[in-house]
A and B are shown apart, each in its own frame.
Chain A
Protein backbone atom coordinates (compact mmCIF):
# COMPACT_ATOMS: atom_id res chain seq x y z
CA UNK A 1 0.00 0.00 0.00
CA UNK A 2 1.26 3.47 -0.89
CA UNK A 3 0.05 6.48 1.06
CA UNK A 4 0.34 10.02 -0.30
CA UNK A 5 3.80 11.49 0.14
CA UNK A 6 5.44 8.07 0.30
CA UNK A 7 5.88 7.29 -3.38
CA UNK A 8 9.22 5.97 -4.58
CA UNK A 9 11.37 8.72 -6.11
CA UNK A 10 14.67 8.46 -7.94
CA UNK A 11 17.42 8.26 -5.34
CA UNK A 12 21.12 8.01 -6.09
CA UNK A 13 22.05 4.39 -5.16
CA UNK A 14 24.92 5.40 -2.89
CA UNK A 15 22.78 8.02 -1.14
CA UNK A 16 20.02 5.43 -0.76
CA UNK A 17 22.44 2.96 0.82
CA UNK A 18 23.74 5.53 3.28
CA UNK A 19 20.24 6.66 4.14
CA UNK A 20 19.20 3.05 4.66
CA UNK A 21 22.00 2.49 7.16
CA UNK A 22 20.99 5.64 9.00
CA UNK A 23 17.33 4.60 9.11
CA UNK A 24 18.19 1.07 10.21
CA UNK A 25 20.37 2.45 12.99
CA UNK A 26 17.51 4.73 13.99
CA UNK A 27 15.02 1.84 14.08
CA UNK A 28 17.40 -0.21 16.21
CA UNK A 29 17.77 2.55 18.79
CA UNK A 30 14.07 3.46 18.72
CA UNK A 31 12.89 -0.14 19.14
CA UNK A 32 15.46 -0.90 21.81
CA UNK A 33 14.22 2.11 23.75
CA UNK A 34 10.57 1.05 23.54
CA UNK A 35 11.28 -2.63 24.07
CA UNK A 36 13.15 -1.89 27.27
CA UNK A 37 10.16 0.13 28.49
CA UNK A 38 12.05 3.41 28.41
CA UNK A 39 9.18 5.74 27.55
CA UNK A 40 10.98 8.82 28.86
CA UNK A 41 13.70 8.60 26.24
CA UNK A 42 11.25 7.47 23.55
CA UNK A 43 10.05 11.09 23.42
CA UNK A 44 13.48 12.26 22.24
CA UNK A 45 13.19 10.44 18.92
CA UNK A 46 10.62 12.98 17.81
CA UNK A 47 10.97 16.42 16.34
CA UNK A 48 9.14 19.24 18.13
CA UNK A 49 6.72 19.62 15.19
CA UNK A 50 6.11 15.91 14.67
CA UNK A 51 3.05 13.94 13.68
CA UNK A 52 2.69 10.43 15.07
CA UNK A 53 -0.30 8.32 14.07
CA UNK A 54 -1.03 4.62 14.58
CA UNK A 55 -3.90 3.48 12.42
CA UNK A 56 -5.36 0.47 10.62
CA UNK A 57 -4.79 -0.23 6.97
CA UNK A 58 -8.49 0.14 6.19
CA UNK A 59 -8.36 3.76 7.37
CA UNK A 60 -5.11 4.52 5.57
CA UNK A 61 -6.37 3.10 2.28
CA UNK A 62 -9.63 5.03 2.50
CA UNK A 63 -7.84 8.25 3.46
CA UNK A 64 -9.66 8.33 6.80
CA UNK A 65 -7.64 10.35 9.32
CA UNK A 66 -8.46 8.69 12.63
CA UNK A 67 -5.66 7.27 14.75
CA UNK A 68 -5.62 4.67 17.46
CA UNK A 69 -2.90 7.01 18.68
CA UNK A 70 -2.92 10.50 17.15
CA UNK A 71 -0.27 12.97 18.26
CA UNK A 72 0.48 16.42 16.91
CA UNK A 73 3.72 17.72 18.38
CA UNK A 74 6.17 16.35 20.91
CA UNK A 75 4.04 17.62 23.81
CA UNK A 76 1.39 15.04 23.06
CA UNK A 77 4.08 12.36 22.72
CA UNK A 78 5.40 13.28 26.16
CA UNK A 79 1.87 13.29 27.63
CA UNK A 80 1.28 9.78 26.34
CA UNK A 81 4.61 8.57 27.66
CA UNK A 82 3.81 9.97 31.11
CA UNK A 83 0.27 8.58 31.13
CA UNK A 84 1.31 5.08 30.07
CA UNK A 85 4.20 4.99 32.51
CA UNK A 86 2.55 6.56 35.55
CA UNK A 87 -1.24 6.63 35.42
CA UNK A 88 -2.63 3.88 33.20
CA UNK A 89 -3.97 0.56 34.47
CA UNK A 90 -3.04 -2.52 32.42
CA UNK A 91 -1.66 -6.01 32.87
CA UNK A 92 2.13 -6.34 32.76
CA UNK A 93 3.55 -7.24 29.37
CA UNK A 94 6.68 -7.20 27.25
CA UNK A 95 6.83 -5.81 23.76
CA UNK A 96 9.33 -6.58 21.04
CA UNK A 97 9.66 -4.90 17.64
CA UNK A 98 11.19 -6.55 14.59
CA UNK A 99 11.81 -4.12 11.74
CA UNK A 100 12.93 -5.06 8.24
CA UNK A 101 12.69 -4.26 4.52
CA UNK A 102 13.80 -0.66 4.99
CA UNK A 103 13.10 1.04 1.70
CA UNK A 104 14.36 4.58 1.14
CA UNK A 105 11.87 6.60 -0.90
CA UNK A 106 13.58 9.97 -0.83
CA UNK A 107 16.91 11.13 0.54
CA UNK A 108 18.38 14.60 0.73
CA UNK A 109 20.71 16.33 3.13
CA UNK A 110 17.68 17.66 5.04
CA UNK A 111 15.19 14.82 4.91
CA UNK A 112 14.77 11.07 4.45
CA UNK A 113 11.51 9.33 3.66
CA UNK A 114 11.28 5.59 4.03
CA UNK A 115 8.89 2.73 4.52
CA UNK A 116 9.76 -0.29 6.68
CA UNK A 117 7.90 -3.39 7.74
CA UNK A 118 7.41 -4.08 11.42
CA UNK A 119 6.20 -6.92 13.56
CA UNK A 120 5.14 -6.03 17.07
CA UNK A 121 5.24 -9.02 19.40
CA UNK A 122 3.44 -8.98 22.71
CA UNK A 123 4.08 -11.27 25.63
CA UNK A 124 1.66 -11.09 28.49
CA UNK A 125 3.42 -12.39 31.56
CA UNK A 126 1.00 -15.30 31.92
CA UNK A 127 0.70 -16.11 28.24
CA UNK A 128 2.48 -17.03 25.08
CA UNK A 129 4.04 -14.53 22.71
CA UNK A 130 1.69 -13.28 20.01
CA UNK A 131 1.98 -11.09 16.96
CA UNK A 132 0.17 -8.00 18.14
CA UNK A 133 0.60 -6.05 14.93
CA UNK A 134 2.02 -6.59 11.48
CA UNK A 135 2.46 -3.19 9.93
CA UNK A 136 4.53 -0.60 8.15
CA UNK A 137 6.27 2.50 9.32
CA UNK A 138 5.88 5.39 6.89
CA UNK A 139 8.58 7.74 8.12
CA UNK A 140 9.79 11.22 7.42
CA UNK A 141 13.05 11.99 9.20
CA UNK A 142 14.75 15.33 9.58
CA UNK A 143 18.33 15.88 10.69
CA UNK A 144 19.18 17.53 13.94
CA UNK A 145 22.70 17.77 15.38
CA UNK A 146 23.89 14.93 13.16
CA UNK A 147 21.13 12.46 13.96
CA UNK A 148 17.67 11.74 12.66
CA UNK A 149 14.44 12.83 14.30
CA UNK A 150 10.92 11.80 13.37
CA UNK A 151 9.01 14.56 11.63
CA UNK A 152 6.25 12.14 10.73
CA UNK A 153 5.69 8.50 11.62
CA UNK A 154 2.57 6.73 10.39
CA UNK A 155 2.31 3.21 11.76
CA UNK A 156 -0.19 1.44 9.54
CA UNK A 157 -1.11 -2.03 10.73
CA UNK A 158 -2.63 -4.83 8.67
CA UNK A 159 -3.81 -6.60 11.83
CA UNK A 160 -7.17 -4.89 11.80
CA UNK A 161 -8.70 -6.82 14.70
CA UNK A 162 -6.70 -5.73 17.73
CA UNK A 163 -6.31 -8.20 20.58
CA UNK A 164 -8.03 -6.19 23.31
CA UNK A 165 -5.91 -3.05 23.29
CA UNK A 166 -2.68 -1.32 22.44
CA UNK A 167 -1.00 -0.15 25.64
CA UNK A 168 2.46 0.90 24.52
CA UNK A 169 3.38 3.00 21.50
CA UNK A 170 4.53 1.32 18.31
Chain B
Protein backbone atom coordinates (compact mmCIF):
# COMPACT_ATOMS: atom_id res chain seq x y z
CA UNK B 1 0.00 0.00 0.00
CA UNK B 2 2.33 2.71 1.22
CA UNK B 3 6.02 2.58 1.60
CA UNK B 4 8.60 5.19 2.33
CA UNK B 5 11.99 3.64 2.05
CA UNK B 6 13.46 0.27 2.75
CA UNK B 7 14.73 0.97 6.20
CA UNK B 8 14.97 -2.72 6.89
CA UNK B 9 17.17 -4.87 4.72
CA UNK B 10 15.95 -8.37 4.07
CA UNK B 11 18.80 -10.29 5.63
CA UNK B 12 20.11 -13.37 3.94
CA UNK B 13 18.92 -16.40 5.82
CA UNK B 14 16.23 -14.57 7.78
CA UNK B 15 14.18 -17.03 9.77
CA UNK B 16 10.71 -17.17 8.30
CA UNK B 17 7.99 -17.46 10.86
CA UNK B 18 5.27 -18.32 8.41
CA UNK B 19 3.74 -21.74 9.06
CA UNK B 20 0.77 -23.87 8.17
CA UNK B 21 -2.52 -22.40 9.47
CA UNK B 22 -3.00 -25.20 11.97
CA UNK B 23 0.45 -24.53 13.41
CA UNK B 24 -0.38 -21.07 14.67
CA UNK B 25 -0.87 -22.19 18.24
CA UNK B 26 -0.31 -19.84 21.14
CA UNK B 27 2.43 -20.98 23.57
CA UNK B 28 1.21 -23.23 26.36
CA UNK B 29 2.46 -20.74 28.96
CA UNK B 30 -0.45 -18.46 28.06
CA UNK B 31 -0.34 -14.68 28.24
CA UNK B 32 3.13 -14.46 29.76
CA UNK B 33 4.55 -15.48 26.37
CA UNK B 34 3.94 -13.89 22.99
CA UNK B 35 4.81 -15.74 19.79
CA UNK B 36 6.76 -13.70 17.21
CA UNK B 37 4.47 -14.79 14.37
CA UNK B 38 1.71 -12.44 15.54
CA UNK B 39 4.00 -9.62 14.38
CA UNK B 40 5.38 -11.12 11.19
CA UNK B 41 2.87 -13.47 9.57
CA UNK B 42 0.84 -12.47 6.53
CA UNK B 43 -1.73 -15.14 7.41
CA UNK B 44 -2.24 -13.63 10.85
CA UNK B 45 -2.31 -10.10 9.42
CA UNK B 46 -5.02 -11.05 6.93
CA UNK B 47 -7.06 -12.59 9.72
CA UNK B 48 -6.63 -9.41 11.80
CA UNK B 49 -7.95 -7.24 8.98
CA UNK B 50 -10.97 -9.51 8.57
CA UNK B 51 -11.82 -10.12 12.21
CA UNK B 52 -10.63 -6.92 13.89
CA UNK B 53 -10.61 -3.93 11.52
CA UNK B 54 -13.46 -5.23 9.38
CA UNK B 55 -15.08 -6.93 12.34
CA UNK B 56 -16.91 -5.81 15.44
CA UNK B 57 -14.89 -2.69 16.22
CA UNK B 58 -15.39 1.07 16.16
CA UNK B 59 -12.56 2.57 14.13
CA UNK B 60 -11.52 6.20 14.38
CA UNK B 61 -11.85 7.95 11.01
CA UNK B 62 -11.85 11.75 11.53
CA UNK B 63 -12.52 14.73 13.75
CA UNK B 64 -15.67 16.72 13.09
CA UNK B 65 -13.56 19.88 13.21
CA UNK B 66 -11.98 18.75 9.92
CA UNK B 67 -15.35 18.70 8.17
CA UNK B 68 -17.29 21.58 9.76
CA UNK B 69 -19.29 22.59 6.67
CA UNK B 70 -21.76 20.86 4.37
CA UNK B 71 -19.93 18.97 1.58
CA UNK B 72 -16.62 18.86 3.45
CA UNK B 73 -14.77 15.56 3.24
CA UNK B 74 -11.58 13.85 4.35
CA UNK B 75 -9.89 10.75 3.04
CA UNK B 76 -9.41 8.15 5.76
CA UNK B 77 -8.90 4.45 6.49
CA UNK B 78 -10.49 1.62 8.42
CA UNK B 79 -7.65 -0.75 8.94
CA UNK B 80 -5.88 -0.73 5.57
CA UNK B 81 -9.13 -0.03 3.71
CA UNK B 82 -9.53 3.44 2.17
CA UNK B 83 -12.73 5.29 3.06
CA UNK B 84 -14.14 8.77 2.68
CA UNK B 85 -15.69 10.69 5.57
CA UNK B 86 -18.19 13.21 4.23
CA UNK B 87 -20.65 15.72 5.64
CA UNK B 88 -23.93 15.98 3.77
CA UNK B 89 -25.98 19.15 3.29
CA UNK B 90 -28.14 18.31 6.31
CA UNK B 91 -25.04 18.11 8.54
CA UNK B 92 -25.05 14.33 8.85
CA UNK B 93 -21.75 12.46 8.56
CA UNK B 94 -21.30 9.49 6.24
CA UNK B 95 -18.44 7.06 5.80
CA UNK B 96 -18.11 4.92 2.69
CA UNK B 97 -15.49 2.94 0.85
CA UNK B 98 -13.16 4.93 -1.37
CA UNK B 99 -13.72 2.43 -4.16
CA UNK B 100 -15.93 3.02 -7.15
CA UNK B 101 -18.77 0.52 -7.29
CA UNK B 102 -18.05 0.05 -11.00
CA UNK B 103 -14.45 -1.12 -11.40
CA UNK B 104 -12.93 -0.49 -7.99
CA UNK B 105 -11.09 2.76 -8.61
CA UNK B 106 -9.93 4.56 -5.45
CA UNK B 107 -11.59 7.72 -6.69
CA UNK B 108 -10.91 10.26 -3.93
CA UNK B 109 -7.27 11.37 -4.11
CA UNK B 110 -7.25 14.55 -2.01
CA UNK B 111 -6.63 14.41 1.74
CA UNK B 112 -9.48 16.83 2.32
CA UNK B 113 -11.75 19.16 0.43
CA UNK B 114 -15.28 20.31 -0.29
CA UNK B 115 -17.53 19.14 -3.10
CA UNK B 116 -21.21 18.34 -3.61
CA UNK B 117 -20.52 15.00 -5.29
CA UNK B 118 -17.72 12.54 -5.94
CA UNK B 119 -17.00 11.66 -9.52
CA UNK B 120 -14.89 8.65 -10.34
CA UNK B 121 -12.26 9.93 -12.80
CA UNK B 122 -12.20 6.74 -14.87
CA UNK B 123 -15.79 6.49 -16.19
CA UNK B 124 -17.42 9.43 -14.41
CA UNK B 125 -19.78 7.50 -12.22
CA UNK B 126 -20.95 10.02 -9.65
CA UNK B 127 -21.95 9.66 -6.01
CA UNK B 128 -23.62 11.96 -3.52
CA UNK B 129 -22.19 12.81 -0.08
CA UNK B 130 -23.91 9.74 1.36
CA UNK B 131 -22.26 7.39 -1.11
CA UNK B 132 -25.38 6.83 -3.25
CA UNK B 133 -24.84 6.31 -6.95
CA UNK B 134 -26.22 9.36 -8.78
CA UNK B 135 -25.15 9.08 -12.34
CA UNK B 136 -23.81 6.55 -14.86
CA UNK B 137 -22.85 8.10 -18.22
CA UNK B 138 -24.57 6.41 -21.17
CA UNK B 139 -26.60 4.27 -18.81
CA UNK B 140 -29.26 3.90 -21.53
CA UNK B 141 -26.60 3.47 -24.19
CA UNK B 142 -26.25 5.27 -27.50
CA UNK B 143 -29.51 5.96 -29.17
CA UNK B 144 -30.35 3.43 -31.86
CA UNK B 145 -27.43 1.13 -31.04
CA UNK B 146 -28.07 -2.41 -29.90
CA UNK B 147 -26.38 -3.89 -26.82
CA UNK B 148 -25.32 -0.44 -25.71
CA UNK B 149 -25.48 0.83 -22.11
CA UNK B 150 -26.51 -0.85 -18.90
CA UNK B 151 -29.13 -3.63 -18.85
CA UNK B 152 -32.69 -2.39 -18.31
CA UNK B 153 -32.84 -3.91 -14.84
CA UNK B 154 -29.72 -2.07 -13.62
CA UNK B 155 -30.79 -0.37 -10.40
CA UNK B 156 -28.50 2.47 -9.21
CA UNK B 157 -29.88 2.10 -5.69
CA UNK B 158 -28.17 -1.29 -5.52
CA UNK B 159 -24.83 0.03 -6.78
CA UNK B 160 -23.89 2.71 -4.28
CA UNK B 161 -20.60 2.76 -2.42
CA UNK B 162 -20.25 0.39 0.49
CA UNK B 163 -21.46 2.35 3.52
CA UNK B 164 -20.17 2.06 7.05
CA UNK B 165 -21.91 2.33 10.37
CA UNK B 166 -21.04 5.73 11.92
CA UNK B 167 -20.87 6.94 15.52
CA UNK B 168 -19.66 10.24 16.90
CA UNK B 169 -18.80 11.38 20.39
CA UNK B 170 -17.92 14.98 21.24
CA UNK B 171 -16.58 15.69 17.79
CA UNK B 172 -14.72 12.41 17.20
CA UNK B 173 -15.98 10.25 14.33
CA UNK B 174 -15.84 6.46 14.37
CA UNK B 175 -16.98 3.95 11.77
CA UNK B 176 -17.53 0.23 11.60
CA UNK B 177 -18.00 -2.42 8.96
CA UNK B 178 -20.40 -4.09 11.38
CA UNK B 179 -23.96 -2.80 10.99
CA UNK B 180 -25.12 -3.95 14.42
CA UNK B 181 -22.37 -2.55 16.65
CA UNK B 182 -23.09 -1.78 20.27
CA UNK B 183 -23.13 1.95 21.12
CA UNK B 184 -19.72 3.56 21.23
CA UNK B 185 -19.97 4.21 24.99
CA UNK B 186 -20.63 0.53 25.65
CA UNK B 187 -17.74 -0.39 23.35
CA UNK B 188 -15.35 1.92 25.21
CA UNK B 189 -16.54 1.10 28.70
CA UNK B 190 -17.09 3.53 31.54
CA UNK B 191 -13.51 4.29 32.50
CA UNK B 192 -12.17 4.81 28.99
CA UNK B 193 -15.20 6.95 28.13
CA UNK B 194 -14.54 9.06 31.22
CA UNK B 195 -10.96 10.01 30.29
CA UNK B 196 -11.98 10.44 26.65
CA UNK B 197 -14.68 12.90 27.72
CA UNK B 198 -12.27 14.83 29.94
CA UNK B 199 -10.52 15.92 26.76
CA UNK B 200 -13.38 16.29 24.27
CA UNK B 201 -16.64 17.01 26.09
CA UNK B 202 -17.93 20.54 25.62
CA UNK B 203 -14.94 21.62 23.49
CA UNK B 204 -14.70 22.93 19.97
CA UNK B 205 -11.45 21.71 18.49
CA UNK B 206 -9.12 23.85 16.44
CA UNK B 207 -6.90 21.82 14.11
CA UNK B 208 -3.23 22.82 14.40
CA UNK B 209 -1.88 20.47 11.75
CA UNK B 210 -0.85 17.02 10.66
CA UNK B 211 2.09 14.65 10.65
CA UNK B 212 2.33 11.37 8.79
CA UNK B 213 4.94 8.70 9.13
CA UNK B 214 5.54 5.10 8.20
CA UNK B 215 6.68 3.05 11.14
CA UNK B 216 8.41 -0.19 10.16
CA UNK B 217 6.74 -2.30 12.82
CA UNK B 218 3.59 -4.33 13.34
CA UNK B 219 0.54 -2.22 14.25
CA UNK B 220 -0.01 -3.99 17.58
CA UNK B 221 3.36 -2.78 18.81
CA UNK B 222 1.98 0.73 19.02
CA UNK B 223 -0.80 -0.47 21.31
CA UNK B 224 1.70 -2.41 23.36
CA UNK B 225 3.95 0.61 23.65
CA UNK B 226 1.17 2.65 25.23
CA UNK B 227 0.09 -0.19 27.47
CA UNK B 228 3.67 -0.59 28.66
CA UNK B 229 4.39 1.92 31.42
CA UNK B 230 7.62 0.03 32.21
CA UNK B 231 9.29 1.36 29.06
CA UNK B 232 8.00 4.87 29.70
CA UNK B 233 10.02 5.19 32.84
CA UNK B 234 13.15 3.66 31.34
CA UNK B 235 13.46 4.74 27.70
CA UNK B 236 12.42 8.37 27.75
CA UNK B 237 14.78 10.85 29.39
CA UNK B 238 12.28 13.65 28.95
CA UNK B 239 9.48 11.79 30.71
CA UNK B 240 11.64 10.67 33.56
CA UNK B 241 13.88 13.66 34.17
CA UNK B 242 11.05 16.17 34.11
CA UNK B 243 8.61 13.93 35.97
CA UNK B 244 6.04 13.67 33.20
CA UNK B 245 5.88 9.96 33.91
CA UNK B 246 8.32 8.46 36.33
CA UNK B 247 8.46 5.55 38.75
CA UNK B 248 7.45 6.95 42.11
CA UNK B 249 4.92 9.50 40.85
CA UNK B 250 1.16 9.00 40.98
CA UNK B 251 0.18 6.98 37.96
CA UNK B 252 -2.06 4.23 36.66
CA UNK B 253 -2.35 1.87 33.73
CA UNK B 254 -6.08 1.56 33.25
CA UNK B 255 -7.59 -1.24 31.16
CA UNK B 256 -11.26 -1.53 30.22
CA UNK B 257 -13.09 -4.73 31.22
CA UNK B 258 -12.66 -6.22 27.73
CA UNK B 259 -8.90 -5.64 27.89
CA UNK B 260 -8.64 -4.06 24.46
CA UNK B 261 -8.58 -0.36 25.40
CA UNK B 262 -6.32 1.42 27.84
CA UNK B 263 -5.37 4.70 29.46
CA UNK B 264 -1.83 5.27 30.62
CA UNK B 265 -2.14 8.06 33.17
CA UNK B 266 0.28 10.03 35.25
CA UNK B 267 0.31 13.08 37.49
CA UNK B 268 3.35 15.30 37.20
CA UNK B 269 4.79 15.96 40.63
CA UNK B 270 5.59 19.56 41.61
CA UNK B 271 9.18 18.51 42.23
CA UNK B 272 10.39 15.33 40.60
CA UNK B 273 13.42 15.09 42.91
CA UNK B 274 10.99 14.56 45.80
CA UNK B 275 9.51 11.40 44.28
CA UNK B 276 12.65 9.87 42.79
CA UNK B 277 14.88 8.54 45.57
CA UNK B 278 18.45 7.38 45.04
CA UNK B 279 17.46 3.74 44.69
CA UNK B 280 14.84 4.51 42.01
CA UNK B 281 17.17 6.89 40.20
CA UNK B 282 19.93 4.30 40.09
CA UNK B 283 17.72 1.93 38.07
CA UNK B 284 16.72 4.52 35.50
CA UNK B 285 19.54 5.37 33.11
CA UNK B 286 17.22 7.84 31.45
CA UNK B 287 16.99 9.90 34.66
CA UNK B 288 19.50 12.54 33.69
CA UNK B 289 20.34 15.18 36.24
CA UNK B 290 22.59 16.79 33.60
CA UNK B 291 19.58 17.48 31.38
CA UNK B 292 18.65 21.08 32.10
CA UNK B 293 16.46 23.10 29.79
CA UNK B 294 17.50 26.54 28.69
CA UNK B 295 13.89 27.16 27.75
CA UNK B 296 11.71 25.14 30.15
CA UNK B 297 8.45 26.53 28.76
CA UNK B 298 7.75 23.47 26.73
CA UNK B 299 7.37 21.21 29.76
CA UNK B 300 5.10 23.69 31.59
CA UNK B 301 1.64 22.48 32.41
CA UNK B 302 -1.31 24.85 32.19
CA UNK B 303 -4.22 23.23 34.08
CA UNK B 304 -7.26 23.01 31.78
CA UNK B 305 -8.94 19.69 32.56
CA UNK B 306 -11.04 18.22 35.36
CA UNK B 307 -8.71 15.33 36.03
CA UNK B 308 -6.17 14.12 38.58
CA UNK B 309 -3.89 13.29 35.63
CA UNK B 310 -1.56 15.64 33.76
CA UNK B 311 -0.92 12.98 31.13
CA UNK B 312 -3.36 10.47 29.66
CA UNK B 313 -2.43 8.39 26.65
CA UNK B 314 -5.43 6.38 25.51
CA UNK B 315 -5.28 3.34 23.27
CA UNK B 316 -8.69 2.81 21.73
CA UNK B 317 -8.88 -0.50 19.93
CA UNK B 318 -8.07 -1.02 17.19
CA UNK B 319 -6.76 2.15 15.53
CA UNK B 320 -6.83 5.24 17.75
CA UNK B 321 -4.43 6.88 20.15
CA UNK B 322 -5.68 9.90 22.07
CA UNK B 323 -2.83 12.02 23.32
CA UNK B 324 -3.20 14.40 26.24
CA UNK B 325 0.43 15.00 27.18
CA UNK B 326 0.33 18.07 29.45
CA UNK B 327 -1.12 20.60 26.97
CA UNK B 328 -0.08 19.01 23.70
CA UNK B 329 -3.19 17.32 22.34
CA UNK B 330 -3.77 15.08 19.39
CA UNK B 331 -5.13 11.92 17.92
CA UNK B 332 -3.18 9.31 15.98
CA UNK B 333 -4.80 6.96 13.54
CA UNK B 334 -3.06 3.64 12.99
CA UNK B 335 -3.29 2.35 9.43
CA UNK B 336 -1.92 -1.20 9.34
CA UNK B 337 0.25 -1.69 6.28
CA UNK B 338 1.07 -5.38 6.14
CA UNK B 339 2.55 -7.30 9.06
CA UNK B 340 5.81 -5.34 9.12
CA UNK B 341 4.63 -1.77 8.76
CA UNK B 342 2.06 0.79 9.85
CA UNK B 343 1.19 4.32 8.84
CA UNK B 344 0.55 6.85 11.60
CA UNK B 345 -1.71 9.77 10.79
CA UNK B 346 -1.36 12.45 13.45
CA UNK B 347 -3.84 15.27 13.90
CA UNK B 348 -2.77 17.88 16.43
CA UNK B 349 -5.30 20.29 17.87
CA UNK B 350 -6.16 22.89 20.48
CA UNK B 351 -9.48 24.49 21.35
CA UNK B 352 -11.28 27.40 19.75
CA UNK B 353 -11.11 29.23 23.08
CA UNK B 354 -7.28 29.16 23.12
CA UNK B 355 -5.48 32.47 23.27
CA UNK B 356 -2.65 33.11 20.84
CA UNK B 357 -0.20 32.35 23.66
CA UNK B 358 -1.96 29.08 24.53
CA UNK B 359 -1.74 27.98 20.89
CA UNK B 360 1.97 28.76 20.88
CA UNK B 361 2.40 26.87 24.14
CA UNK B 362 0.79 23.81 22.53
CA UNK B 363 3.02 24.17 19.49
CA UNK B 364 6.16 24.47 21.62
CA UNK B 365 5.11 21.49 23.71
CA UNK B 366 4.54 19.60 20.47
CA UNK B 367 8.32 19.08 20.41
CA UNK B 368 7.73 16.21 22.84
CA UNK B 369 5.61 14.22 20.41
CA UNK B 370 5.40 13.38 16.75
CA UNK B 371 8.00 11.79 14.46
CA UNK B 372 10.65 14.31 15.59
CA UNK B 373 9.44 14.52 19.19
CA UNK B 374 11.74 13.86 22.11
CA UNK B 375 9.47 11.00 23.19
CA UNK B 376 7.96 10.12 19.84
CA UNK B 377 11.12 9.37 17.93
CA UNK B 378 12.46 7.10 20.66
CA UNK B 379 9.28 5.00 20.54
CA UNK B 380 9.51 4.77 16.76
CA UNK B 381 13.11 3.64 16.94
CA UNK B 382 12.36 1.06 19.66
CA UNK B 383 9.41 -0.38 17.72
CA UNK B 384 11.54 -0.63 14.59
CA UNK B 385 14.28 -2.43 16.50
CA UNK B 386 11.74 -4.84 17.94
CA UNK B 387 10.30 -5.63 14.51
CA UNK B 388 13.76 -6.27 13.10
CA UNK B 389 14.56 -8.53 16.03
CA UNK B 390 11.47 -10.69 15.64
CA UNK B 391 11.83 -10.80 11.86
CA UNK B 392 15.45 -11.79 11.74
CA UNK B 393 16.03 -14.12 14.64
CA UNK B 394 15.17 -17.84 14.77
CA UNK B 395 14.14 -17.40 18.42
CA UNK B 396 10.36 -17.03 18.35
CA UNK B 397 8.98 -16.08 21.75
CA UNK B 398 8.87 -12.85 23.74
CA UNK B 399 8.00 -12.74 27.41
CA UNK B 400 5.50 -10.65 29.37
CA UNK B 401 6.16 -11.56 32.98
CA UNK B 402 6.30 -8.17 34.71
CA UNK B 403 3.68 -8.15 37.45
CA UNK B 404 3.33 -11.92 37.25
CA UNK B 405 0.15 -13.07 35.57
CA UNK B 406 -2.04 -10.14 36.60
CA UNK B 407 -4.35 -8.61 34.03
CA UNK B 408 -6.25 -5.35 33.82
CA UNK B 409 -5.77 -2.05 35.60
CA UNK B 410 -2.58 -1.54 37.59
CA UNK B 411 -1.30 1.29 39.74
CA UNK B 412 2.37 0.40 39.37
CA UNK B 413 4.38 1.36 36.31
CA UNK B 414 6.46 -1.80 36.58
CA UNK B 415 3.97 -4.17 35.00
CA UNK B 416 2.85 -5.65 31.68
CA UNK B 417 -0.64 -6.34 32.99
CA UNK B 418 -2.51 -4.27 30.36
CA UNK B 419 -0.62 -5.91 27.49
CA UNK B 420 -1.69 -9.31 28.78
CA UNK B 421 -5.30 -8.08 28.91
CA UNK B 422 -5.07 -6.91 25.33
CA UNK B 423 -3.79 -10.28 24.19
CA UNK B 424 -6.52 -12.13 26.06
CA UNK B 425 -9.05 -10.17 24.00
CA UNK B 426 -6.98 -10.57 20.83
CA UNK B 427 -6.75 -14.36 21.20
CA UNK B 428 -10.51 -14.65 21.63
CA UNK B 429 -11.24 -12.61 18.51
CA UNK B 430 -8.52 -14.26 16.47
CA UNK B 431 -9.23 -17.82 17.63
CA UNK B 432 -5.63 -18.27 18.73
Q: Which residues of A contact B (CB under 8 A)?
A: 54-56, 58-59, 62, 64-73, 75-76, 78-80, 82-83, 86-91, 124, 126-128, 130-132, 160-167
CA distance in complex: A55, B376 (Å)? 16
Bound form: Cα–Cα A128–B10 in Å: 12
Contacts of B216 in A (CB 8 A): 164
Asked if residues A56 and B293 are in contact (CB atoms below 8 Å), the reply is no
A67 touching B371, Cβ below 8 Å: no
- Which residues of chain A have C-beta atoms less than 8 A from B210's C-beta? 56, 58-59, 64, 66
Stretch from B152-160, B170-178, B358-366 at the A interface: B358-366
State A64–B206 Cα separation when bound (angstroms). Answer: 10
Q: B202-238: contact bitstring with A at CB < 8 Å (1 yes, 0 no)?
A: 0000011111111110000000000000000001011
Determine the chain A residues whose CB is within 8 A of the CB of B237 once the complex forms.
83, 87-88
A162 pairs with B211, CB closer than 8 A: yes
The CB with the most chain A CB atoms within 10 A, among B2, B216, B359, B367, is that of B367
Residues of B within 8 A of A (CB): 2, 4-9, 111, 207-216, 235, 237-238, 241, 286, 288, 290-291, 293-295, 298, 343, 348, 359-360, 363-364, 366-367, 370-372, 374, 376-378, 380-382, 384-385
Contacts of A76 in B (CB 8 A): 294-295, 298, 364, 367
A159 to chain B, nearest CB (A): 8
Given contacts A127-B7, A128-B6, A161-B343, contact A69 B372 (CB under 8 A): yes
Give the complex CA separation of A65 and B207 in angstroms.
9
Residue of A nearest to B366 (CB): A70
Name the CB-closest residue of A to B379.
A165
Given contacts A75-B295, A88-B237, 15 further A-B contacts (CB under 8 A): A59-B210, A64-B208, A65-B209, A70-B363, A71-B367, A79-B293, A80-B367, A82-B291, A88-B374, A132-B5, A161-B212, A163-B4, A164-B4, A165-B376, A165-B380
C-alpha spacing A127/B384, complex, angstroms: 14
Out of B291, B294, B364, B370, which one reaches A68, CB within 8 Å?
B370
Contacts of A165 in B (CB 8 A): 213, 371-372, 376-377, 380-381
Tell me the complex Cα distance, A78–B295, Å: 9
Question: What are 30 pairs between A and B in contact, CB < 8 Å?
Answer: A62-B209, A66-B208, A66-B211, A67-B363, A68-B370, A68-B371, A72-B364, A75-B293, A75-B294, A79-B295, A86-B290, A87-B286, A87-B374, A88-B378, A89-B235, A89-B381, A90-B381, A128-B6, A130-B5, A161-B4, A161-B212, A161-B343, A162-B212, A162-B213, A162-B371, A163-B5, A163-B214, A164-B7, A165-B377, A166-B377
CB distance from B159 to the nearest CB of A (A): 33
Instruction: Looking at the assembled complex, report how far the CB atom of B414 sits from the nearest CB atom of chain A, in whole angstroms.
Output: 20
**B209/A59 in contact, CB under 8 A:** yes
Task: Tell whether A166 pairs with B371 under 8 Å between CB atoms, given A58-B210, A65-B208, A91-B385.
Answer: yes
Cα A124 to Cα B8 in complex, Å, equals: 10
Q: Which residues does chain A contribute within 8 Å of B288, judged by CB atoms?
A: 86-87
> How many Å from the CB of B358 to the closest CB on chain A?
12
**Closest Cβ of chain B: how far from A48's Cβ, in Å?**
11
Q: In the bound complex, do residue B2 and residue A68 qualify as a contact, i.e. CB atoms below 8 Å apart? A: no
